[in-house]
Structure 1
Amino acid sequence: MKDLPVKLWFFIAAISLLRIIVASSLALGNDEVYYWTYALHIEWNYFDHPPFVAWLIRTTTANLYLHNELAVRFGAIISSAICTIIVFKTGKLLLSERVGWYAVLLYTSSFYCSIIAGTFILPDSPQMVFWLWSIYLLIKITRFIKLSLPTLNLWYWFGLATGLCMMCKIHGIFLWFAVLLFALINNRKMLFQKGLYISMLISLVVISPVIIWNIQHHFITYTYHSDRVSLFHAGINPLAFAREISGEIFYNNPMVFFLVWTAVFGLFRKKYHQHKSDIRVLLCCGLPLIFTLIFLSIFRDTLPHWSGPAYTCLIFLSALQLESYTPPKAKLMITASLLFFFAIVVTALPMIHFYKGSFSSDQDALHFGKGDPSLDLYGWRETGKIIDTVYNMEKDKTIHTMVITKWFPAAHLDFYTNMQTGLNTYGIGEIFDLHQYYWSNRLKHKLTFGDNAYYIIPSNLYDENDLNFVKRQFKGCNKPLILPVLRNGAICKNILIFKLKGYKKRK
């Protein structure tokens, strides 16, 4: 740490402050608040992902004592600060301190790196620390092999880093794919390194709890994810492909995206003899994941942020290319990238908080706000207050349960409502709709024959099919109590509260 310039620490402090402001001012998103529910019951694996994000949230909330958005997200902000240090050190290792700075500035201007994984709490947040650490170690390992220097200790650390990366998100397996790919195309001597196999064993030991959990639960995590990317019975899906490409462009910042691919295609025209091995490491770590997701998107829906870690590898190639430009030209490109980033952040925050009403054109009371993406991050605090008030005024104090059919908005209701009211969310429906709630049912007060319950849903997420399914589980259902949530003095969505009578299912 002593070799890090003081200005880097000031830069990290300034960017962290910006992230703290964003993290404190926005309600938790669907995914974030769902991962908070992981932390309620620590396990070795969860329906969707390995457990590291749950450990991180449990730590930053002081064992759940702190109940606010900043505490839940603080692990992402810390992770992003650590990532910035690793990015600088990797750029410096590649060539120079200036390349390190270029890489840091491009990394910071990426929406994926700074906001999606760097401010919002997702499995990607801690994953990026171990992903970037693994890249740094792999570059050192390949250099040490070339110089015939001992690599065993580096392999030990690489095994730990990749194992922890996979404990965050299974995408970390692409790091091992990169190692094998690099060894085959660049340096087959690596395959005879004793440290390689010890490192694999260390990774396997680290992720063994996840493997054991999945064996015990019939590999449900991989059944779910394989279903998401399965090509069987899937036709060409041009809309999914367009979403993937446009998402990659925006999430990584259009300027960063342009610089990344300019650098990649530029490799075919220029010869980087001095950095050829390092460049191949970065390409092996980045391109397979990107091309895999682009290929899958031709047939299936994908999420553009899945490719985020891969683009961080290619950011280093951009930094190397910028080093070959004149300083004014490099500065202009980086400035344009940062300005676009800050312009979007500064514009988005006020719009989410102060836009009058809803972006949606749907004015029907039961569907008000449908399709408005800003409502993922707005109105949940107000929702909690509304439901708390209604529950305290409710004369029937025998109701202790809120039935849910999907993991969202169940997690929002848990965080913003049930921590105040004491209501339980009880999942009814299919496992692929409930996700982790399918298992959390066993830890909650179970509905018994004849029980009454609530079904609560915001109008922008209302689905008549879900309501009809719920109704079939009960003898009766009152008409909804429709309560508005306001934004800048106008309705942005309604909260629909249905009272259900007489649960039908017997033990």
Structure 2
Amino acid sequence: MVSLAKFLRWPYLQHLIMHPNNVLPGNIIWRLCFIGLLAAAVDAGSFLLLMHSEAGLSLAHITSFLIAASINYSFFSKCLPQSIDPNSLRWQLFSRYSIVSILVLLMRGGLLTLLLNVWHIPLTLAIFLIIVITAAMSYMGLVFYIFPLLQQLPSPAIGWREATIGIIVFAILLRLIYLVQAQLIPDEAYYWVYAQHMDLSFFDHPPMVAWLIWLGTSIFGDNELGVRISAFICSLITMGYLYALACNLYDKQTGLRTLLLLAILPFSFATGMLMTADAPLIAAWAATLYYMERALIAGRSSAWLGMGITFGLGLLSKYTIGLLGMAALLFVILDPIARRWMRRAHPYLAALLALLLFTPVLIWNAEHNWASFLFQGRRLEGAGDDQFSVHLLFLNILVLLTPAGFLAAVWALITGGNQDSDQSAQRRRLFLRVFTGTPFAVFFVLSMFDSMRFHWTAPLWLAVLPTIAWMMGQTHHLGNIASRLQAAWNPTIAISMIAYALILHYVVLGFPGIPYPEFMKRYFWRETTIEVEKVVQNIQQQTGQKPLVVGMSKWPIASSLSFYNRKEPMDIRSRNMFGDSGAMYQFWYPSEPPTMRPIILVGIEKNHLEQGRWGNDITYMLDQPGPIQSQLIMRENKPLRWVYYRIARGYRGN
């Protein structure tokens, strides 16, 4: 802990935080404090006035913050020392102040809704607490991102290091604040339904995601925090193992920059917040890489135990981690030093341990005619559309890594990072290329014959992140390409963090005057479920029978309705009632006998209530089906989406 504090230059940070007069004169500091208090009072007054005028939470908090931020900056910009060049540094200060203000504003929106909607704190108290927190966040933004611009630092690396720490902390807090509030995506709701039917494994995934959700909801309840807390913890595990891997391959500064990459790259930010099977997979992948490096490069025999455990846990998370096993075998074949392990018992015992941990999946499949393996075997061929999709594969990678991250990954794989010719550097380059290239080669070949899911390649980039991070820190003998890549990281980091904060603020609070787009029709199931519950209640009152609610999609509708069903529990089924695929719903509710109970079909599209996925008519399976009806879903007088439903007197059977 002492060495880490020394590495992060904590004394420097502490001195900067506690003694800002080393950056600005003392009299200016006191004036800034006075203006800050005045701006805070204006912020609070404006917010309460707008809320009293029923302007809406989003408009009120954004408007009041912008007024306060403008007051602060107008004075701050006039109090800068005369040594600052007004034609260059002042513009940099304005851009940095703007970035800090935008990020603080978007974080503050999440905190405000957390206090009001989750913790149910009174409005007046909530805004005063938020203003105090906002002031603290703004000051830390000055310390980490603006004050270093005004101070002659011992080394440019120190300013970069302090900014890196600030970005990492901000990204972690941003996820933590919003994961409690942002509604579940249908995938998360589906895995929550997994946890309501606990088993050794499941049709479309191994059981780890269900086990983690069961654990989280047992502690925190059936809410967004309970579902997602394990994803957040998995992201911290990923950061810990990848930091250690980067330190082993390079140094601690590279380890810190690796954490920065995990904080800002889209694939790691998303998996650190959304509870899907990819969250534990990413953590297990990072841990397995760490132990593989310790075993294969460092020659630590004890690392095989860790590798067996983490690889087995990865198999319980998602079968994709099997590609790491292929990469390990290839590395052992290619590397003469690592090849000696083939004559020892350690790797075979590690494989046996991983297989032992994988036993629950084997048992479940044996009891269900190997259904999951057969299904995944078909998925391995792609989406089933026989479409050449190499171009889409690279487009998806651009989304997962950002353009700068993608180009940096390509350059890292080509150059191998450090160009030293010693044996350890050569083995490190081989490790990088094998453990990134082998999984990528599999996906590349598959994409030549079928389309891939956009997120499938996400974990394979973990192996290359330490080398990208090492390249980010190089200052000598940079070529044209490397220098351009370095220059691209600053805007990439800023744009990424602002984009994540904007998206999260948008889905939780929205923005004044900006409607939700058409593709959001698959979201906002909390409000949608309330309307469906009203329809169910009306039908039950009219007929005296509890209706059967059928989500006319594979699993998203049925799962989302199940999770957000807060009133009397609804009897919910999936579209497999009408002969279509329902994933695990085919196992939980394999068949439904004909019944004269009322049937309510719920769909995202109108045509889903008339015909199946392949265009087949489903009306003949319904007794006296009524017309398709629609309901506009609203929140605080703002349209969110449409939902469609159809009521029938009964179900005739499939």
Q: What TM-score comes out, normalization by structure 2 length?
A: 0.68
Counterpart in the other structure of 1:365: none
Whether the aligned pair in 1 keeps the contact of 2:610 and 2:619 (CA below 8 Å) is no
User: CA deviation digits over 1:466-492, x for unaligned, max 9?
Assistant: 396543222221113321113675544
1:11 to partner: Cα distance: 6.6
SS class of match (1:454): strand
Q: 2:307 aligns with which of 158, 165, 172?
A: 158
Counterpart in the other structure of 1:276: 426
1:4-43 alignment, distance < 5 Å: 4-5=4-5, 13-43=169-199
1:236-255 alignment, distance < 5 Å: 237-238=387-388, 240-255=389-404
SS class of match (1:275): helix
Counterpart in the other structure of 2:356: 205
- Cα 1:311/1:430, change in 2 over 3 Å: farther
- Cα 1:474/1:231, change in 2 over 3 Å: closer
What percent of counterpart residues are identical? 20
Taking the aligned partners of 2:399 and 2:283, their CA distance within structure 1 comes to 22
- Cα 1:232/1:482, change in 2 over 3 Å: closer
- Cα 1:326/1:346, change in 2 over 3 Å: farther
- Cα 1:5/1:83, change in 2 over 3 Å: farther
Taking the aligned partners of 1:16 and 1:254, their CA distance within structure 2 comes to 23
Taking the aligned partners of 1:307 and 1:491, their CA distance within structure 2 comes to 36
Q: 2:461 aligns with which of 311, 320, 338?
A: 311
Whether the aligned pair in 1 keeps the contact of 2:231 and 2:275 (CA below 8 Å) is yes
Letter aligned with residue 424 of structure 1:
D
Letter aligned with residue 89 of structure 1:
A
User: CA deviation digits over 1:364-398, x for unaligned, max 9?
Assistant: xxxxxxxx1x3333x21110221222333332241
Aligned length: 481
Taking the aligned partners of 2:180 and 2:382, their CA distance within structure 1 comes to 40
- Cα 1:461/1:170, change in 2 over 3 Å: farther
Q: 1:218 aligns with which of 362, 369, 374?
A: 369
SS class of match (1:33): helix
1:332-481 alignment, distance < 5 Å: 332-352=487-507, 353-354=510-511, 356-360=514-518, 372=519, 374-377=520-523, 379-394=524-539, 395=541, 396-405=543-552, 406-417=554-565, 419-427=566-574, 428-429=576-577, 433-441=581-589, 447-459=593-605, 462=608, 464-466=610-612, 469-481=617-629
Counterpart in the other structure of 2:269: 114
1:316 to partner: Cα distance: 1.6
Taking the aligned partners of 1:289 and 1:487, their CA distance within structure 2 comes to 44
1:356 to partner: Cα distance: 4.2
1:439 to partner: Cα distance: 1.1
Letter aligned with residue 653 of structure 2:
K
Structure 2: gaps of 5 or more residues: 9-163
Whether the aligned pair in 2 keeps the contact of 1:459 and 1:493 (CA below 8 Å) is no
- Cα 1:399/1:12, change in 2 over 3 Å: same
Counterpart in the other structure of 2:326: 177
Letter aligned with residue 181 of structure 1:
L
- Cα 1:90/1:231, change in 2 over 3 Å: closer
User: CA deviation digits over 1:234-259, x for unaligned, max 9?
Assistant: 75x34x33322111111122221111
Q: 1:74 aligns with which of 213, 229, 232?
A: 229
1:426 to partner: Cα distance: 2.2
SS class of match (2:611): helix
**Greater relative CO (CA pairs within 8 A, separation 6+):** 1
Whether the aligned pair in 2 keeps the contact of 1:471 and 1:500 (CA below 8 Å) is no
Letter aligned with residue 205 of structure 1:
L
Q: 1:140 aligns with which of 294, 310, 318?
A: 294
Counterpart in the other structure of 2:449: 299
1:288 aligns with 2:438: yes
- Cα 1:335/1:220, change in 2 over 3 Å: same
Taking the aligned partners of 1:233 and 1:252, their CA distance within structure 2 comes to 26
User: Which stretch of structure 1 is more off in the superposition, 383-392 or 36-45?
Assistant: 383-392
1:458 to partner: Cα distance: 2.9
User: CA deviation digits over 1:225-279, x for unaligned, max 9?
Assistant: 22223389975x34x3332211111112222111111111123994553322233
Letter aligned with residue 465 of structure 1:
Q
Taking the aligned partners of 1:178 and 1:122, their CA distance within structure 2 comes to 25
Counterpart in the other structure of 1:58: 214
User: CA deviation digits over 1:69-92, x for unaligned, max 9?
Assistant: 232111111111121121211111
Q: 2:239 aligns with which of 77, 81, 84?
A: 84
Taking the aligned partners of 2:282 and 2:367, their CA distance within structure 1 comes to 28
Whether the aligned pair in 2 keeps the contact of 1:102 and 1:334 (CA below 8 Å) is no
1:314-333 alignment, distance < 5 Å: 314-326=464-476, 332-333=487-488
Letter aligned with residue 381 of structure 1:
R
Whether the aligned pair in 2 keeps the contact of 1:12 and 1:84 (CA below 8 Å) is no
Taking the aligned partners of 2:210 and 2:335, their CA distance within structure 1 comes to 38
Counterpart in the other structure of 1:100: 255
Letter aligned with residue 287 of structure 2:
W
Taking the aligned partners of 2:284 and 2:384, their CA distance within structure 1 comes to 36
Structure 1: gaps of 5 or more residues: 361-371
